[in-house]
Structure 1
Amino acid sequence: MSLEIKEQSEVSPFLSDAARSAAIDNKEKEIKDAQHENDDIMCGFWIFKGPLLQRFATETMYVTIYGVSGCFMAMCFAYFSGTITTLEKRYKIPTKTLGIISVGNDMTTMFGSALIGYYLRKVHRPRWMGIGLFTIVIFCLLNCSLHFIYGAGEDALKLTREFGDLQNITGNLTGSHKDQKLCMSEESTCMQENSIWGPQLILFGAQFILGIGQALFIVIGLAYMDDNTTKSKTPAMLSFSTFLRMLGPAVGYSLASVCLRWYIDPTTEPLIKPEDPRWLGAYWIGWLILAAITFLIACLMTLFPKELPSTRARRLKCEKDDIQNPMDQQMDLSLSGMWCSLKHLATNKVYVYNTFASILYFFGYMVYWIFTPKYIETQYQQSASMATMATGTVALGFSAGGVLLSGYIVSKYQPSARSMAAWNAIVDFLTVAGILCYVVIGCEGSDKLSSMAVTSADSCSASCHCEYVHYAPICSPNNDTYISACHAGCTDNTKDQLGRTLYTGCQCIAPSNSTSVPELQYAVDGPCHVDCFNQFLIFLAVMCFLKLVGASSKSTNLLIALRCIPPEEKSFALGVGSMVASLLGFIPSPIFYGWLIDKYCLVWGKTCSNKGNCWLYDTQALR
C-alpha cells in the first residue's frame, strides 16, 4: 500500500475535505519529522549506510576515532617541528621567519574558533570535523610539494658521490667550487639564490590552512564528545582521547627521525653522515604518509551520526520527565546574540581566570614544542634524527603516562574543582623549576665550537674574504672545528690515503708542535667529534619529568573549562578560549623566541639577497 493511501485510510471518513487535507498534511509532517529524527542517529551517508555501520554508533567508538584523529593531527604538528631544522637549512630560512610561519595556523584558529563555536552548534558536527581533517590532508600535500617544486637543492647535491664525480669529470672542482672554500686573495662574490620567498609562502599557506582544520576539529569535537557522553564517564573518556592524541607527537617525531635518516634525495649516495650539520634528511616522505592516513581517518569521522542513539534516548527521557534541555532552546544566531553570550562569558570568573592562566603557561612553555629538537641539535651536537626521536618517542611517552594517570585519579576519586585548580598551579611551579635546570645543563665541547667560530672570524682570516663562504666545517689536529677551510686560512687541498679531503697551508691553525711549520698546519674535511651524550641524557631526564608532570594537568584543566560554563554556551566558550589563546599565546610566543634564538647566531649562511639560515649558535648565551 502506498504511503498516500495508507495515510488516507487512517483519516476519519466523516471529516470534511478541508479537514481531511489538513489531517493528511499533519500526518505527513509527523512522518517526515520521524524520518529526520532517525536520520540524525544513523551512521553513514549516501550509499555508505546500513545496520552494520549502526553498531559502531557508540560513545566508546566515537571517543576512539576522535582520539585517533587527534593523534594524526598531532603527528602533523610534531612532524613539522621535527623537520624544522632541515627546512631552515634547505630553504635558508632564519628561525625568526620560521617562527612567523609556524603561527599561520594560530592566526586562522584565532579568527575562526569563535565563529565556528557560535554558528556551528546545531550542524552535523562529525561531517564538519571530517572537513577539518580533509584540510589537514591539504596541509600535508603542500608541505610535500616543496621538494617536487624546488628539488633537493644544489648545496645538498654537492655533497653526493654522483654530483662530486660529475664535478671531477667536468673539471669544476678546481674552479669556482674550490674558490668558495679556500682562502682568496681578492674579495669574494656573494652567492645568488634562485628563490627565497616561494618556499616561505607555501609553508605559511599550508599552516594557514591547517588552522582551519584545527579549529573545526577541536572546537566542534570536544563539544560533541561532552554532549554525547554520560557526565560521569566524561573524565575517563576525555583522558582516553587525550592519551590517544598524546601518542601522536611520539609517533610524529619517530616518523621524522626515520625519514631524516635518509638523504633528501634517496636516489643519490651522500658523502657525509647524518651526524654532519650539513646533512639534509628526506623530510618530504613523511608528509606523503601522513596525508594518506589522515584521508582515511577523515572518511571514518564523517560516518558518525548527528546525534548518538544513546544520547537521543537520554534526551527523550528528559523530555518525557519534563526536563528542558538548554540545547533544544531556540538560539539567537545574530551578532547581538553573540555579543550577549560574550558578555556572559566575561562575567564568568572561573572561565576568565582559567583561560588567562592557560595563556601564560602556553606562552612560556609551548614554544619548546617547536624548538626542542633544534635546541638538542645545537646544545648537545646530536643528529636531527636523534633529536626528534628523543623529543618524541621518549619524552612524549611520559606525557601519555601522565594523561592516563590523571584520568584514572580524577575518575576514581572525583576531586573538587578547587583541588584540580590547585594541582594545575603546582604543575606550573614545577615546570618553572625544571626549565631553570636547563640553564646549568651545558656541554664544554659545544661551547668550544662557539668560541672557535668567533676565533676563526678574527683578523687572521680577514684577508681571505670568507663572508659568503658556505658553511663547510673542518677539523684541525688540535681537535678544533673551523667554519670552513677559508676561515682557517687554508690555501690548498688534496686527498689522503683514506679518501678524505685534506686542507693544507692553513695559516690560522696553530701547529701541533712548538715549531711553526706551514706544512704541518692542515685540517680534515668535516667537524671534529664532540661528545655531549652524558649531558644530553641529563637534559632528557629532566625533560621527561616535566612531560610527566605537565601532562597530568591537561585533563583537569579542560574539565574546569567545560564544567564552569552552561551547556548551551560550551562550543562558543571553547571557541573564544581558543581565539584568545592564539592571539595572546600561540602567535607571539614562537615569533618572540625565534627572534631570541637568532640573536645568538654566530654563523649565517649569507646570500646576495638573504641572510639565510643560522649554522652555529653561541650555545652558552643561548642556554
Structure 2
Amino acid sequence: MATADRKKLSHFSLLGMKLPTRAHKWINIRLFSLLMCIVIAIQGTYLGYIVGVLTSIEKRFEISSSMSGTLLAMYDIGHTLSVLLVGYFYADCHKPRVIVGGVLLSSVAMFLLALPNFAFGPTPYPSVDEIADQYANGTYGCRENTTSLDAVDHCPKAVHGGAYAIMILAQLLAGVSAAPFNTIAYIYIDDNVSHRDSPFYLGLLTGMYAFGPAFGFLLSAGCTNLYVVPSAEQKVEPSSHYWIGAWWLGFVICAVLYIIFSIPLLLFPRRLHRRSKVDPIEMNSHLQGIDDQEEELIAADTLSTKFAMVWQTAKALPAAICSMLRNQVYSSMVLGWIFGSYLIGGYGTYLPKFIETQFEQSASMADIYAGLISIGSVAVSTALGGYLLTRFNIQPRLATLLLIITWVIIFFTYLLGIAFGCDQVTLQGKQLAGGIWNFTTECSKQCNCPAQEKFLPVCDGKWTYFSACHAGCSFEADNNTWLNCKCTEYSTVAVEGFCKTGCTALPMYITTMFVGLFLGNLFFMTTMTVVLRCVDVQERSLALSLASFLTNILGFIPSPIIFGLIIDSACVAWYSPCNDSGNCVLYDNMAFRYKYHSGNAAFQLAAILVVVFTYYKQENFAYPESEDFDNDNDRMYEHDEAKGINTANECGPNEKMLTQK
C-alpha cells in the first residue's frame, strides 16, 4: 500500500486537530492496550474500594447491610442492562470515541458517589471538640436531674434517603458506563491484532479485572485511616467508634484518573493500520480516501438498512438462546458458574465487615486483610490455573473433574472458617424475645438515657456498656476516660470503646482462608473454557455473552442483597435515631460467623453438585472441532474483504454479528 494511502487509512486527530506525522508511530495497538489496562485497573480499583469503605458508608448514613448490599448490586444491574446493548449496537461505531464516552461517564459516576459528603455534610456525629463539650456538660453522661430526651425531634429529615438515592443513581451509572470496557475495547483490539496475538492482549485486559480490586482495598485502607474531614485536627484514633474515615476521597481520586486517561484515548482513529492477509490492492481500492468523517456520513446513509438488520437479528435471537440452553453441558456449567460467583458477590463483599466486627480490627486494617484473602488468593490462583490449563493442554472433562475437586476444598474451607472467631463482647443488658437486647438496666433507668441514644460504648475493664449514660458515668476526663460511673460492676472508671477480648484467632483465619481459596480457585477458568468449547465456533460469542448476562442476573446482583439480609439477621443492637431500622452497631459474633460461612458453603455445595452433573453429561458429549478455528476465521475475514464488505465503515450490527449472535 502506498504511503499516501496509508495516511488516508489512518486518520489521527485530537478533537478535530490533526497530529504531527512523527506522532503517528506512537498511536498503535500497544499504547491502546496499555491505556485500556489502566482504565480497567481504575474500574477494578473502584469496585474494590467501595467494598472497603462500605462499613464507613453504613455508619455515616445509618443504613443496614441489606441496603448496602442493594447499593452494590446497582452496579451489576446497570452493567447487565447495558452490556448486551452496547456490545451489539456500538460494535461498528467509532470505538475509541465510544470508550471515551464510557470513561467520562464513569468519572461522573465517581463524583456522584462522593457528592453526599458535600451535599449533606461530612458526618452526623458531632466534632471532637463538640464531643468534649458535651461530655463536660454531661450530655452523654448520666442525666439524673433531667427528663428523657427525644432524639426523634432532632432527626435529620430525608438526609439519609436523599444521600442513598444519589448513590444508587451513581452505582447504576457506573455500571452502564463500564459496558464498553469489556465489549467495545475487546473488539477494537481484536480487530487490530493478529489472531495469534489476540489472546495475549485480551488476557492482559482480563487480568486487570482480577488485580484492580487489590489496589482498591489498599486505597480504602489509606482513606479510611484519614478522618472524614482530612484537614481537620482530630483527637480520636481510627480504632474509636466515633471515627468515620474519608470514604469519599477514593471516589474523587478515581474520577480524576478517569478524566486524565480519557484524553489520550481521543487520539485513536476508527481503525488502526495493521498487516492483513487481504490483498493490499483490494483493501486500498476499497478504503482509499475514506477518513473518520466520511465514514460517519456513510453510516448515516445506511441507517435504514441497519434497522432492518437489527430487526432480523432480534427475531432470530430467542430461538438461538433456547437452542443453546438445551445444551445440557452448557446450561449446567453456566449454572455452576452462577453459584460459584457467590464467592465474590457474597463472601468477598462482606469480608471487610466480618473481619472488622469479628476480630476487633479498624476499617483500614480490615480492608488490607480482606484484600489479602479475596484478591491475593483468588486473583493469583485464577491466573495460575489459566496458565496450567494452557501449559498442559488439559481437556475439558479432566478440567471439570479438577474443578470439582478444588471446589470441594472451598466448601470445607468455609466450614473451617466457622471455627476461627472471637468471643462475644460482654455487653451489659438484657436479651429480649427475638434476640434483641435492651441495654437499660435498673441502675441506668434513673439516668434518663434517651431511647435513641447514640451507640458510644465504654468499658469498665470487664463489661461493655452501650454508652456512658448507660454506665451511669457523671463526667469525662481529658483522656477519653469516664469517672464516677455508678452503674458499672468492675470499676467506677470506664474507658471509651469495647472491652478487648484478647482474641488471637485472626492469623489462623487469614492463613486458612488464603490457602483454601488459593487451592480452590486454581481451575475456576474451567467454567469459561467449557462454556466456549461446548458450542459451535459461530455460537461462541453468544455463549459467552449469555453466560455473563445470566451470571450477573442470578449471581452478582442478588448475592450482596441475600448476604446483607443474612448478616442483618445476626444483629443484636441497632442504632435507629429516626425510628427506622438504621445500622447495626453490634452483632452476635457466633451467629454472624456461622451464618456468613454456612451460607457461602451452601451456595458452594450447590455449585459442586451442578458441575458433577456437567461431568456426568460430558462422558458421551462430542465437543465441536475447534483446532482449525483461527484458520477458519482468517478465511472468513479474507472472504469478506475480497467481496468488499467493510463493516467498520458503518455503525450497527454487521454480517458477522448476524451469524454469531
TM-score range, shorter chain: 0.7 to 0.9
> What is the distance in 2 between the residues matched to 1:173 and 1:225?
65
Report the Cα offset of residue 319 of structure 1: 9.1
Work out whether residues 604 and 614 of structure 1, in 8 Å CA contact, stay in contact via their aligned partners in 2. Answer: yes
Structure-2 change in CA distance of 1:381 and 1:48 (3 Å):
farther
Letter in 2 for 1:504: N
> What is the distance in 1 between the residues matched to 2:197 and 2:405?
26
Runs of 5+ in structure 2 lacking a partner?
284-304, 432-436, 594-661
Report the Cα offset of residue 555 of structure 1: 4.5
Structure-2 change in CA distance of 1:52 and 1:151 (3 Å):
farther
Structure-2 change in CA distance of 1:240 and 1:218 (3 Å):
closer
Structure-2 change in CA distance of 1:183 and 1:64 (3 Å):
farther
1:511-530 pair list within 5 angstroms = 512=490, 521-530=492-501
Runs of 5+ in structure 1 lacking a partner?
1-30, 321-329, 513-519
Q: TM-score, normalised by structure 2?
A: 0.75
Which residue matches 1:500? 480
Structure-2 change in CA distance of 1:314 and 1:98 (3 Å):
farther
Letter in 2 for 1:90: R
Deviates most, 209-218 or 549-558: 549-558
1:605 aligned onto 2:568: no
Q: Secondary structure at the match of 1:602?
A: strand
Work out whether residues 210 and 375 of structure 2, in 8 Å CA contact, stay in contact via their aligned partners in 1. Answer: yes
Letter in 1 for 2:482: L
Structure-2 change in CA distance of 1:221 and 1:173 (3 Å):
same
Report the Cα offset of residue 202 of structure 1: 0.8
Which residue matches 1:133? 103
Encode CA deviations 1:270-315: one digit per residue, 9 max, x unaligned: 23211123311111222221111122223334444444433x6145
> What is the distance in 1 between the residues matched to 2:403 and 2:199?
16
Computed over aligned residues only, the root mean square deviation of the Cα atoms, in angstroms, reads: 3.4
Report the Cα offset of residue 121 of structure 1: 2.7
> What is the distance in 1 between the residues matched to 2:336 and 2:281?
36
Which residue matches 1:531? 502
Q: Secondary structure at the match of 1:615?
A: strand
Encode CA deviations 1:521-554: one digit per residue, 9 max, x unaligned: 442233223433x311122123323453455445
> What is the distance in 2 between the residues matched to 1:552 and 1:302?
38
1:436-475 pair list within 5 angstroms = 436-444=415-423, 447-449=424-426, 454=431, 457=439, 459-460=441-442, 463=445, 464-475=448-459
Which residue matches 2:39? 69
1:414 aligned onto 2:393: yes
Work out whether residues 434 and 546 of structure 1, in 8 Å CA contact, stay in contact via their aligned partners in 2. Answer: yes
**Which of 92, 108, 121 lines up with 2:91 in the alignment?**
121
> What is the distance in 2 between the residues matched to 1:460 and 1:437?
41
Structure-2 change in CA distance of 1:373 and 1:203 (3 Å):
same
**Which of 104, 124, 137 lines up with 1:174 in the alignment?**
137
Letter in 1 for 2:260: L
Which residue matches 1:347? 323
> What is the distance in 2 between the residues matched to 1:304 and 1:432?
47
Report the Cα offset of residue 449 of structure 1: 4.1
Q: Secondary structure at the match of 2:495?
A: strand
Q: Secondary structure at the match of 1:616?
A: strand
Structure-2 change in CA distance of 1:318 and 1:91 (3 Å):
farther
1:122-161 pair list within 5 angstroms = 122-155=92-125, 157-158=126-127, 160-161=128-129
Letter in 2 for 1:603: A
**Which of 62, 71, 85 lines up with 1:101 in the alignment?**
71
Which residue matches 1:369? 348
1:191-590 pair list within 5 angstroms = 191=152, 192-194=154-156, 195-310=159-274, 313-314=276-277, 333-348=309-324, 349=327, 350-363=329-342, 365-392=344-371, 395-444=374-423, 447-449=424-426, 454=431, 457=439, 459-460=441-442, 463=445, 464-477=448-461, 479-488=462-471, 490-495=472-477, 499-507=479-487, 509-510=488-489, 512=490, 521-532=492-503, 534-549=504-519, 552-553=522-523, 555-562=525-532, 572-590=542-560
Encode CA deviations 1:561-605: one digit per residue, 9 max, x unaligned: 455566766655544333322221122211111111111111211
- Quick check: which has more Rg, 1 or 2? 1
Report the Cα offset of residue 250 of structure 1: 1.1
Work out whether residues 254 and 393 of structure 1, in 8 Å CA contact, stay in contact via their aligned partners in 2. Answer: no
Q: Secondary structure at the match of 2:151?
A: coil
Q: Secondary structure at the match of 2:385?
A: helix
Work out whether residues 485 and 506 of structure 1, in 8 Å CA contact, stay in contact via their aligned partners in 2. Answer: no
Work out whether residues 475 and 523 of structure 1, in 8 Å CA contact, stay in contact via their aligned partners in 2. Answer: yes
Q: Secondary structure at the match of 1:502?
A: strand
Letter in 2 for 1:502: W
Q: Secondary structure at the match of 2:248?
A: helix
Letter in 1 for 2:41: C
Structure-2 change in CA distance of 1:449 and 1:396 (3 Å):
farther
Report the Cα offset of residue 487 of structure 1: 2.8
Work out whether residues 372 and 514 of structure 2, in 8 Å CA contact, stay in contact via their aligned partners in 1. Answer: no
Work out whether residues 257 and 385 of structure 1, in 8 Å CA contact, stay in contact via their aligned partners in 2. Answer: yes
Letter in 1 for 2:486: C
Report the Cα offset of residue 45 of structure 1: 6.1
Deviates most, 424-433 or 243-252: 424-433
> What is the distance in 1 between the residues matched to 2:521 and 2:14?
35
Work out whether residues 428 and 466 of structure 2, in 8 Å CA contact, stay in contact via their aligned partners in 1. Answer: no
Letter in 1 for 2:137: T
Work out whether residues 369 and 510 of structure 2, in 8 Å CA contact, stay in contact via their aligned partners in 1. Answer: yes
Q: TM-score, normalised by structure 1?
A: 0.80
